[in-house]
Amino acid sequence: MVTEWIITEIDGKIASIAADYRHFAEIAAKVAQLPPTSVDVITTQKVSTDELIAMAGTLTWEDFRLFGTKFQLGVWKTLFELEPRLYSYSEFAALCGNPQGVRSVAHAVAINPITYVFPCHLIIPKESLDKAREIRAVAESTLFKGSDLYLLDSIDVGEYAYGPETKRELIKRHLKR
SS (H, E, C) the chain: CCCEEEEEEECCEEEEEECCCHHHHHHHHHHHCCCHHHCCCEEEEEEEHHHHHHHHCCCCHHHECCCCCHHHHHHHHHHHCCCCCCEEHHHHHHHCCCCCCHHHHHHHHHCCCECCCCCHHHEECHHHHHHHHHHHHHHCCCCCCCCCHHHHHHCCCCCCCCCHHHHHHHHHHHHHC
Mean pLDDT of 15-32: 93
Q: Which tops the pLDDT comparison, 146 or 94?
A: 94
Domain assignment of residue 128, given as a range:
4-176
Q: At what angle do helices 102-110 and 70-80 cross, to 10 degrees?
A: 80
pLDDT of residue 146: 54
Mean pLDDT of 25-34: 93
CB 169, CB 153: distance < 8 Å: no
Lowest mean pLDDT of 47-61, 68-82, 124-138, 162-176, name the range: 124-138
CB 6, CB 55: distance < 8 Å: no
CB 43, CB 33: distance < 8 Å: no
What is the tens place of the pLDDT at every residue in 101-158? 999 999 999 999 999 999 999 999 999 889 878 877 777 777 656 555 556 677 889 9
For residue 177, pLDDT beyond 70:
no
* Mean pLDDT over the full length of the chain: 91
Residue % of the chain over a pLDDT of 90: 75
pLDDT of residue 123: 97
Which residues are paired to 5 by β-bridges? 47
The number of domains in the chain is 1
pLDDT of residue 147: 55
Instruction: Identify the CATH number of the domain in which residue 56 sits.
Output: 1.10.10.10
Confidence of residue 80 (pLDDT cuts 50, 70, 90): very high
